[in-house]
Amino acid sequence: MQYILDRFVRYITVDTQSDPTNPAFPSTEKQWNLARMLEQELKDIGLSEVVLDENCYLTATLPSNVEHHVPTIGFVAHIDTSPDFSGKNVNPQIHKNYNGENIVLNAEQNIILNATYFDDIQQYKGQTIITTDGTTLLGADDKAGVTEIVSAMEYLVKNPDIKHGKIRICFTPDEEVGKGAHKFDVEAFGAEWAYTMDGSEIGELEYENFNAARAVITVQGKSVHPGYAKNKMVNAILVSQQFINGLPADEVPELTTGHQGFYHLHDIIGDVEKTTLEYIVRDHDLEKFNQRKETMKSLVSSLNQKFEEDIFSIEIKDQYFNMKEKIAPVMHIIDIAAEAMKKENIKPIYKAIRGGTDGSQLSYMGLPCPNIFAGGHNFHGKYEYVPLESIEKATKVIINIAEITANKYL
């Protein structure tokens, strides 16, 4: 396992933080550093068609080693890390034979990973836990995924007795800023289906995510001198509250879980003359999702009726859709992944993602793409950690998927 650990550490010590404020692609130049390093590594391993394109997408091929036809499958991971927390000078701490207790990340600054609060960690007792030093994120999201894919490809090159069809891999930039799939060339990738290695806890197998929209409500007020405002002023800030209060108070992120959808008011910009409310709308169920958008629109019209003037306006834009719709017709790709996990004594955990993934966008671009655990926990912050054993298991899951797929089409 030492070589897997060394590889992972090599990747996380390259700063690849993406930037949501930069419209350039990729959003940060430094992502090229890891992309170029990986390009060389994939060539050294012996993969063919290693291409780093002008948008910082790195693709490569492991050719089939069987005579019969096997569908080409793909594995995808992202090289960038979250803009939410620093990814510079990552200084990983290796905790061998973890004892189930709190982990001191940084004694000097008294930063502790509390094993009661983050109780998921209990299941990894006895394993090797890789943590941060409390000052950065770790970057297991998604360099664990990158490590797993590279390690699995290397293993398959070195062990030609394991039979597999053609395998394509892709490392994308800018996933954390929502653009990871934007310049993904699905046609050139040429896979029938793929898996993102970008989930969390060991066993996760995800093929459901939110349907998502963004709504902006604009309230046009009337600013009048406050001393002479009677029956003339319309205070857009105050009036906007009627819209806020018109939505169900308990359908918000902080009160919902599982398959429950929500309206999330995340920004208000306003003065007396004009106030805008920015919402995101989320639901796994397409019908309920559409209902939510209708609810917002009809609230706007009923408020306009009440004020006898169109002071409210609304603009709704869809952002992404639940990949389940695209996966349902090809459920065998989930069955193959589940079988690959069971072979390693991992119980598949089917979770509905309360967000989106690159895979959901790719699925709608014609590449069905569920998500498999990469092993890390507590993404996007200083408490991020990953058990080395989970990285190793995910690597084996990739190898198993390749082998099972080849056998299925025998």
Q: What number of helices (H) and strands (E) belong to the chain? A: 10, 17
Q: What's the CA gap between 69 and 67, in Å, rounded? A: 7
Q: Residues binding Zn ion: what is the number (CB under 5 A)?
A: 3
Q: Which stretch binds Zn ion (CB under 5 A): 59-67, 197-205, 229-237, 270-278?
A: 197-205
- CB nearer Zn ion, residue 367 or residue 374: 374
Minimum distance of Zn ion from residue 142's CB (angstroms): 4
142: contact with Zn ion by CB under 5 A = yes
The residues that are catalytic are: 80, 175
CA-wise closest residue to 26 among 86, 88, 83, 74: 83
Nearest distance, CB of residue 175 and Zn ion, angstroms: 6
Residue 39 makes contact with Zn ion by CB under 5 A: no
Q: Is 285 annotated as a binding residue?
A: no
User: Among candidates 104, 129, 93, 117, which has minimal Cα distance to 202?
Assistant: 129
Assess 198 for contact with Zn ion (CB under 5 A).
Answer: yes
For Zn ion, the closer of residues 205 and 247 by Cβ is 205
Nearest one of 339, 340, 369, 338 to 356, comparing CA atoms: 369
Q: Is 284 annotated as a binding residue?
A: no
| Of 41, 141, 154, 392, the one binding Zn ion by CB under 5 A | 141
Q: For residues 71 and 178, which CB has a smaller minimum distance to Zn ion in the complex?
A: 178
d(CA 131, CA 262): 33
**Residue 53 assigned as binding residue:** no
| Residue 380 is labelled as binding a ligand | yes
Q: Does residue 80 bind Zn ion (CB under 5 A)?
A: no
Chain centroid offset of residue 300 CA: 33
Q: Which residue has the tokens 């995510």?
A: 209
Q: How far is the CB of 11 from Zn ion (least distance, A)?
A: 13
The response to whether 68 counts as a known ligand-binding position is: no
Q: Rounded to the nearest 10 degrees, how much is the dihedral formed by the CA atoms of 351, 397, 146, 331?
A: -50
Dist CA 241 CA 243 (whole Å): 5
Nearer to Zn ion, 133 or 384 (CB): 384
The span of 122-130, 193-201, 346-354, 361-369 binding Zn ion (CB under 5 A) equals 193-201
Q: What is the bridge-based pairing of β-strands 167-172 and 385-387?
A: unpaired
* Contact stretch for Zn ion (CB under 5 A) within 37-45, 112-120, 137-145, 335-343: 137-145
> Dihedral of CA 270/274/278/279: which sign?
positive
Positive/negative CA dihedral, 229, 235, 238, 239? positive
Question: How far apart are CB 353 and Zn ion at their closest, in Å?
Answer: 11
Residues forming a β-bridge with 263: 281
Our CB check for Zn ion shows the closer of 176 and 251 to be 176
Residues forming contacts to Zn ion in the complex (CB under 5 A) are 141-142, 198
Annotated binding-site members: 78, 141, 176, 198, 380
Annotated binding-site members for Zn(2+): 78, 141, 176, 198, 380
